[in-house]
A and B are shown apart, each in its own frame.
Chain A
Amino acid sequence: MSAAAIDIQKIATLSRLKLTPEEADLYQAQLAKILDYMDVLARYDLSETEPTATASGGRNVLREDVARSSFSSAEALSNAPKSSHGQFQIPKVVE
């Protein structure tokens, strides 16, 4: 699992992060070094080992389908950088 050839711009696009060329170079080099270190895991035979997703044990947690109170529209919008007519405002997505 050599990390030499990370396509950092592709990863940045998936991450929705705009990187400057300097940042791209820096993160490319740092990630390669960090991922090389991850090779320490290669020494273990994991073919018989189940994955752990959480330490509290995987189980479904369901509740009764009953209505409960939540934020009002004004409370939900209170931290929005831009809102209009009781709704979040985003840049135009259709012409």
Chain B
Amino acid sequence: MSLAHETIASLRRRLVKREITSADIVRDLVAFIETKNETIGAYLSWDVDAALAEAAKADLNSPLGGVPIAIKDNINVTGQPCTCGSKILAENYRAPYDATPIKQLRSAGAVPFGRLNMDEFAMGSSTENSALGVTRNPWDLGRIPGGSSGGSASSVSSALSIAALGSDTGGSIRQPAALCGVVGLKPTYGRVSRFGLVAFASSLDQIGTLTKTVEDSALLLNHLCGHDPLDSTSLDESVPDFTAALGRDIKGLRIGLPKEYFIPGIHPAVAAAAQAAIKQLEALGAHIEEISLPHTDAGVATYYILAPAEASANLARFDGVRYGHRTASATDILDHYFSCRAEGFGPEVKRRILLGTYVLSSGYYDAYYLKAQRTRTLIRGDFEKAFQKVDVIVSPTAPSPAHRMGDLKNNPLQAYLEDVFTIPANLAGLPAMSVPSGFAEEGGKKLPVGIQIIGKSLDEMTMLRVAHAFEQASGLSHLNPP
């Protein structure tokens, strides 16, 4: 078996014993990427020389020493491209600095390697909005990997990476993790610095992990969290050793099932896998109870007002002056802005900039933006109430398994509605993760589905404890597509 199939935990054991070197892992990954990436399309670029140079220097005694980590293409790594899946950054941008989480990974000995495809500026749930390449679901090449961190999820699933970083604004780590059969974790808002993550919706964005196992997500999370003065929303909170959550039982833990998340319209295989998971959690000694999150139906509308509003402001920086695509045809400065942006941005990004500009514009601000900020308060309140009664909340991650490529391409509203279960955790700033919970059968192919575990604010520990207990009991871990 290639080293590319292994986990962070197993590679670390072998690196510490000096059975293998960091360069061995990089070379095994490169061999896979060179044969399989053309089909899967997980990576947009990979710099073998830079990775081998870093691998040679990696301190194998550090906690992540020598382990290559693949990076979503919206997180800055010095000297590497950072396209955000967009033509506007594809021509010649090279990151002049490391994002804070990259600095932290490096100081733990990890080797950032490779740039992963994504929906343009993280806007989408299928990776079909990338302007730079097609990414496929390793379980069925005719289907989407999910998104926006579709490159991250498909790379981990198909052993093109050991583990990957992604970003999650409305489900962009958890949903592709579910659809590709891997573990995806979004920390509490403010846990991980956003410095160096290209901003989409600043009050919702959070960097997190995509891994083969729950253990690996705890190992990585240990070296991503912490206060950063360069991000004003970064929380100054102590960071526990998240691996302490592993292997603990969940006897007596209270698990809430929001009745608004178990509704007709969910794909039968998703519902069945969720029910089986709940039975399993109950058998492990957890108390299961129904709860209510009464404002769930406001989630999608709230999100698709707030996120585009923030995006329209954040993406104003793409002016063709300081970085990014510059038009060849401009006659004056205004025409320069209009043309640089029209030529550089793709359709979904334009749609969201227009939507965001509209909801912030004079005469509509109160009716849309301010109203959505108020319904966000109601949604946060739902969770505050629920978490007085339960320790974690469990639901399906996404309402259906992976769609066929192109199925939702011409129906943006339908595509937005697919985010119904993942959006509320972002609006409330809560930690949430997806773990594999079973399979749907479609056209003779097995398609992974996931359950979502939402934790209390800053309580990633209990969330990981439940995830690990479930993973060990279900055996749905480290899944390999055919």
- Residues of A that sit less than 8 Å from B by CB: 1, 6, 8, 11-12, 14-19, 23, 27, 30-31, 33-35, 37-38, 40-41, 44, 46, 49-56, 61, 63, 71, 75-76, 78-82, 88, 90-93
Contact = CB atoms under 8 A, between A and B. Distances in A.
Contact of A55 (B96, B229, B427): B427
B297 A40 contact: yes
Contacts of A52: 373-374, 376-377, 380
Given A14-B357, A41-B371, A30 B331 contact: no
**Most chain B beta-carbon contacts within 10 A, residue among A50, A52, A78, A82:** A52
Contacts of A71: 96-97
Given A51-B370, A55-B380, A56-B233, A18 B342 contact: yes
25 contacts: A1-B367, A1-B368, A15-B312, A16-B341, A17-B338, A17-B354, A27-B350, A27-B351, A30-B351, A34-B412, A35-B368, A37-B301, A37-B413, A40-B297, A41-B371, A44-B295, A44-B375, A51-B377, A52-B376, A55-B190, A55-B380, A79-B96, A79-B322, A81-B321, A91-B336
Contact of A46 (B320, B324, B357, B374): B374
A46 B376 CA distance: 11
Given A15-B312, A80-B321, A88-B321, A51 B353 contact: no
Q: Interface majority SS on B: helix, strand, loop or mixed?
A: helix
Contact of A33 (B320, B377, B413): B413
Interface of B: 91-94, 96-97, 189-190, 203, 229, 232-233, 235, 295, 297-298, 300-302, 304-305, 312, 316, 320-326, 330-339, 341-342, 345, 347, 350-351, 353-355, 357-358, 361, 364, 367-368, 370-378, 380, 412-413, 416, 427-430
A23 B377 CA distance: 35
Contact of A90 (B97, B336, B345): B336
B361 A49 contact: no
6 closest cross-chain pairs (CB), A and B: A55-B429, A51-B373, A81-B326, A79-B323, A18-B342, A18-B338
A59 to B, nearest CB: 9
Given A17-B353, A38-B304, A54-B233, A44 B298 contact: yes
Contacts of A35: 355, 358, 368
A11 B354 contact: yes
A82 B229 CA distance: 32
A31 B355 contact: yes
A47 to B, nearest CB: 9
Given A31-B351, A55-B427, A90 B321 contact: yes
Contacts of A19: 342, 350
Contacts of A23: 347, 350
A23 to B, nearest CB: 7
Contact of A40 (B301, B334, B335): B301
A63 B227 CA distance: 14
B375 A31 contact: no
Given A40-B298, A61-B232, 5 more contacts: A16-B337, A50-B374, A81-B324, A90-B333, A92-B332
B342 A79 contact: no
A51 to B, nearest CB: 3
A25 to B, nearest CB: 13
B332 A93 contact: yes
Contact of A53 (B94, B203, B350, B364): B203
Contact of A27 (B332, B354, B370, B375): B354
**Most chain A beta-carbon contacts within 10 A, residue among B353, B358, B429:** B358
A15 to B, nearest CB: 4
Given A46-B374, A79-B94, A55 B338 contact: no
B470 to A, nearest CB: 26
B373 A53 contact: yes
**Most chain B beta-carbon contacts within 10 A, residue among A40, A75, A76, A82:** A40
Nearest to B326: A81
Contacts of B353: 15, 17
A6 B358 contact: yes
A49 B377 CA distance: 7
A11 B358 contact: yes
A51 B295 contact: no
Given A15-B353, A17-B345, A34 B370 contact: no
A34 B93 CA distance: 34
A76 B413 CA distance: 39
Contacts of A30: 351, 412-413
Given A41-B371, A55-B428, A79-B92, A8 B354 contact: yes
A82 to B, nearest CB: 6
B350 to A, nearest CB: 6
**Most chain A beta-carbon contacts within 10 A, residue among B190, B235, B347, B375:** B375
A21 to B, nearest CB: 13
A61 B233 CA distance: 8
Contacts of A17: 338, 341-342, 345, 350, 353-354
B374 A91 contact: no
